[in-house]
Amino acid sequence: MIKLIPGKKGSGKTKILIDAIHDAEKASKGNVVAIQVGSSLNRDIYHKVRLVNIEDYKISNYDEMAGFIAGIMASDYDCTDIFVDGILKICGRDYEMVGNMFDKIAAVSGEDTNITFTISADIDQLTENVKKYLK
């Protein structure tokens, strides 16, 4: 299942994400992964959460990101939650491609893995294929 945390820069998305990561870590009977640009979340996240600096993997577009997330799920059947902070910063500001990536990930994730993305945009900026993932 894919969830979005939308909002302009400085609107508190990362704080909401950190709280969601903490809640998932407490409730999960498996593994929790947090993907970020750099190491900004390192101070705020519990040590049991696997932190991934996406810069280490040279991911730069939406197809690569979909493959990366699918790879995490394929290699770790116990992964219950994946959090991605700043998808537009990682892959670029192409809302149509964002929606296509969400479709690819949703097709392989099923209901067993929760995947949450922060997206630095107002809801009215998003395309319909992205808005369908707002919950």
Range of the domain at 71: 2-131
Q: Is the pLDDT of residue 41 over 80?
A: no
Mean pLDDT of the chain: 93
Domain count, the chain: 1
Spatial contact of 9 and 85, defined as CB atoms under 8 Å apart: no
Q: What is the pLDDT of residues 68-119, one digit of tens each?
A: 999 999 999 899 999 999 999 999 999 999 999 999 999 998 788 999 999 9
Q: What is the chain's percent helix, strand, coil content, to nearest 5?
A: 45, 20, 35
Spatial contact of 4 and 116, defined as CB atoms under 8 Å apart: yes
> Could you write out the DSSP letters of every residue in 31-83?
EEEEEESTTTTTTTS-TTSEEEEGGGGT--SHHHHHHHHHHHHHH-TTEEEEE
